[in-house]
């Protein structure tokens, strides 16, 4: 699944990964963050 979102101001990608990891771990999920300009990867 691919989603887009916008942050208020500049947020370092390391912070996003860290905070997403906390939530993903609670549900046994994995995720990957890509720049929205990057081509779709499978």
Digit-by-digit pLDDT tens for the chain (42 residues) are 778 888 889 988 899 999 999 999 999 999 988 887 778 766
Q: What does the DSSP 8-state code read for residue 21?
A: H
Joined together, the tokens standing for residue 31 give 């995720």
Let me know if residue 1 belongs to a domain. yes
Position 42 scores a pLDDT of 63
Let me know if residue 41 belongs to a domain. no
Give Cα 5 distance to the centre of its chain.
9
The number of folded domains in the chain is 1
Cβ neighbours around 12 below 10 Å, total: 8
What distance in Å separates the CA atoms of residue 32 and residue 27, rounded to the nearest whole number? 15
Position 41 scores a pLDDT of 62
What distance in Å separates the CA atoms of residue 42 and residue 40, rounded to the nearest whole number? 7
Position 2 scores a pLDDT of 75
pTM given for the model = 0.63
Let me know if residue 42 belongs to a domain. no
Let me know if residue 25 belongs to a domain. yes
Decide if 31 contacts 20 (C-beta within 8 A): yes
Let me know if residue 19 belongs to a domain. yes
Domain range for residue 15?
1-35
């Amino acid at each position: 699944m691919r989603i887009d979102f916008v942050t208020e101001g500049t947020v370092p990608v390391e912070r996003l990964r860290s905070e997403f990891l906390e939530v993903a771990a609670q549900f046994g999920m994995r995720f990957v963050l890509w720049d929205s300009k990057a081509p779709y990867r499978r």
